[in-house]
Amino acid sequence: MSTFTTEALMAFNAHYARIIDDDQVEQWPDCFTDDCLYLVTTDENHRQGMQAGMIYADSRGMLQDRISALREANVYEHHRYRHLVGLPFVVKQEAGLAEVETPFMVARINRNGTTELFATGRYLDEMVRSAAGELRLKQRIVVCDSQSMDTLLAIPL
């Protein structure tokens, strides 16, 4: 019996996308383990092995700080976003740990009503289970396909 079924991975990503897009982003850090790596980077940087990225956080506390800052800046007033998370590909799984790659597209809906394809890329995940048995991200490296994502800094991907 596989510990990380496709069904469980998809349910996790459905939850992940929903809390970001539907304005419950305070729950977002709870998708991660205490000790974690969340990195948003480009494909070019990633190929060169650079750990630097547009966003870097290595603990859940840093993710919480980030959300607080975004709330204070009223970032969420400006646009809406919609994630569509694709089919997960399990690269490897061992006792208690799964490496998973999952593609995504994110649309941005501007205040004037126009919609555009904002970002595409893939998640490089390491997933574990919490004591309560729930899936958690020990690592999510968000590798964006585009090189130029200056406005990306606003929301979690």
Residue ranges that bind a second copy, judged by CB under 8 A: 5-7, 10-11, 13-15, 17-18, 21-22, 43, 80, 82-90, 101-105, 107, 109, 111-122, 145-149
Q: How far is the CB of 152 from a second copy (least distance, A)?
A: 11
Q: Decide: 118 and 108 in contact? Cβ < 8 Å.
A: yes
CB-neighbour burial class of residue 157 (10 A; exposed 0-12, middle 13-18, buried 19+): buried
Identity of the residue, 85 or 127, whose beta carbon is nearer to a second copy in the bound complex: 85
Identity of the residue, 35 or 112, whose beta carbon is nearer to a second copy in the bound complex: 112
For residue 21, which of 148, 124, 156, 122 has the smallest C-alpha distance? 156
- What is the spatial distance between Cα 121 and Cα 107, in angstroms, rounded to a whole number? 12
Identity of the residue, 57 or 122, whose beta carbon is nearer to a second copy in the bound complex: 122
Identity of the residue, 61 or 71, whose beta carbon is nearer to a second copy in the bound complex: 71
Three-class SS of residue 143?
strand
Q: How far is the CB of 35 from a second copy (least distance, A)?
A: 27
